[in-house]
Amino acid sequence: MCIRVHAVAFAVASLLLTLTPSLTAGIPWQACDTTRNYTANSTYGGNLRLVAAALPSNVSKSPTLFAKALIGTAPNIVYALGQCNGDQSTSACHDCISSSFDAAQKLCPGNNGAAIFYDTCLLGFSDQDFLSFTTNSEDQEVQLYNVQNITSDSTDGFNAAVFELFNVMAEYVATTNSTMKFVTGAIGFDATYPNIYGSSSCTPDLSPWECRGCLVTTIYQMPYTFIPNTKGARIGGLRCTMRYEVYRFYNGSIMLQLPGIQAGKKSNETKQGITMVPHSTNANDERWFLRYRPKVLAIVLLTMVPLVASMAFCLCCCWRRRTKGNSPQSLAYHMEDIESIESLVIGLPTLRIATDNFAENNKLGEGGFGAVYKGSLPNGQVIAVKRLSQNSRQGIGELKNELTLIAMLQHKNLVRLVGVCLQEQEKILVYEYLPNKSLDTFLFDSEKRKDLEWATRFTIIKGVARGVQYLHEDSRLKVVHRDLKASNILLDADMNPKISDFGLARLFGGEQSQVTTNQVAGTYGYMAPEYALRGKYSIKSDIYSFGVLVLEIITGRRNSDSYYSDQAVDLPSLIWEHWTMKTITDMIDPCLRSDSSWDEILRCVHIGLCCVQEDHVDRPTISSISIMLDSNTIPSQAPSRPAFYIMSGNDVGSGMYSQSYPRVINESTPKLTVVTPNELSMTDPEPR
């Protein structure tokens, strides 16, 4: 089965709930996929009942107290997994999984997907294939913490002790020969709290690298998720869980007993590489967070190694499936072009010197994640330094996503990753520097646009198409970028394009063709209608964005202007109107009207209109687009009217030079108005 390393397909909403000790016994926490529903008499409902009847016994009888299930045929397949904690008896495990199905029917009635978390077991099911997913994502997790803080004179070392316990448990679960992949532990603290108790687990089907990557990523989240010094907290997902309390919450013996960090002795803490610094998240809430010193940096870097390794294994599996019988490529072969994460590490002092301590005059641009600076390494290499803002929680996930993706994607039309810095509280990605910055700085500037003759613009269009084709079809991963736009197309010294900003990109695996998400993040004006309105994205969503980009390159006009001004018609609709009236030459950038390559220009208009059609099925694939661009062929089918939608007030944007905010899709989300350019009745003209 091909391993996927992207967000799970069904929309399991992330929860942040309070937890008190009196509530820790037998209260389930649910995460429901409300985007698709089934009825009791449906085929899917029948398949789900079969899973509910079989899975409790399969889990409880398994030596690892874990089992997966797959019943039915598309589109009514039920994918499910269940797991009990390693300290549970067979009968208790059976009852817990059974209760989880009952809870799902009450808490997520009729929903095609649900995840149920009890203290002693977990259950997940969906009509989307999440069984090959190997790490938790925000979609899969429940995040719970105790609202009470510890009452002790020795609070300074509490978080450091928790971190130490978690790290040792993660190492134990991932590296021991135990098939259960479950551990309990405790670390000594002080007289008030003699022990801090913890437990950690992975699903037993994960490899040691995959398990370690999932757990360390979870540890990495904790300082950004919970109030420090809280008496207890957990992050639970369908692939790994971590929990600690100041009381013993598990059955059986303590498997790992740590002597602990001497609380309150800052000199000892500093020698161990962990110090505490004040960090304020708002004006009235002074909180204390772990400051990552060299030891913690090394631990965080270990997060990347298993992720890269698991992705390499994914490549092997997916490549084997795609080649359908060709000689399988070895894991070592796929690892050859993936640099060790250690070789990508660049020290923070080096980057401070390279950017003159992130000087304002070195700033290239700024987005929702933070700022980008120009710098120069000691060897003379010029770099672009993407520095995550410490106040951006959203950017943390995007940065990790971008790092794990771009490190494995190598193509001349994709921006190249030079290094990474995760030292102290900094989170920085370092890229090759491209002197001509981004396409929008030329395309939408009245003077610079004159330097973009048609030959250069056509080269840019073809280069972007080659980059997208690599992402969609030619790489060993199937990647949907989700944020193709002019500001994310960078230009080298020869004006060759390179696609950048993979913070919103997602992997597709196997036969997966479309995913639905409850959180839409991207840039309006470039977002396909099915994604902006219903949260559905696929490779055809990128095709829509590519089509908008092509039309912008031809006209020199920014489509997103229509969403932030009184402009009545968006760019695709305006071009469609001129196309059908045979006045398309009026829409061509005046800088190009003396150009003799009218056949290429009109062919690109035709291709662009085919890409922005409302029905994603009608849009061409990127490989067919590349063929049309490299030859004199045009689309065999005339384009239909593009979708024109006026956004409600909460517009979003993302990318290197604009703010990025997710938009949650639910039943209360305002519907977006679909109108014709003149807001009168719709009449379909005969396209040329």
Residues belonging to the binding site for ATP are: 386
Q: Which residues line the annotated binding site?
A: 386
Amino acid (1-letter code) at residue 77: I
String of DSSP letters for 221-265? HHHHHS-TTBSEEEEE-SSEEEEEESS--SSS--SEEE----TT-
- Residue 57's H or E segment, with its range, is helix 43-61
DSSP 283: T
- Gap between the Cα atoms of 249 and 487, Å rounded: 51
Is the preceding peptide bond at 75 cis, omega within 30 degrees of 0?
A: yes
Those residues with Cβ within 8 angstroms of residue 372's Cβ, 6 or more apart along the chain or in another chain? 363, 364, 365, 366, 384, 385, 386, 387, 656
- Gap between the Cα atoms of 467 and 413, Å rounded: 5
- Gap between the Cα atoms of 85 and 181, Å rounded: 9
Cβ atoms within 10 A of the Cβ of 682, count? 8
Closest CA to 255 of 304, 177, 199: 199
- Gap between the Cα atoms of 442 and 451, Å rounded: 8
Amino acid (1-letter code) at residue 148: Q
Catalytically annotated residue among 483, 542, 570, 589? 483
- Residue 396's H or E segment, with its range, is helix 393-406
Q: Is 655 left (phi over 0), alpha (psi -120 to 50) or beta?
A: left
Those residues with Cβ within 8 angstroms of residue 498's Cβ, 6 or more apart along the chain or in another chain? 412, 413, 414, 415, 416, 434, 463, 467, 489, 490, 491, 492
- Gap between the Cα atoms of 214 and 237, Å rounded: 10
Amino acid (1-letter code) at residue 569: V
CA distances from 68 to 10, 97, 177 (A): 17, 12, 21
Q: E-assigned strands of 45-96?
A: 66-71, 78-84
- Gap between the Cα atoms of 239 and 218, Å rounded: 11
Report CA dihedral (482, 524, 636, 439) to the nearest 10 degrees.
-80
Is residue 614 a contact partner of residue 645, using CB atoms and an 8 Å limit? no
Rounded to the nearest angstrom, the gap between the alpha carbon of residue 284 and the centroid of all alpha carbons in its chain is 31
- Whether 483 is catalytic is yes
- Gap between the Cα atoms of 410 and 555, Å rounded: 31
Write out the catalytic residue numbers. 483
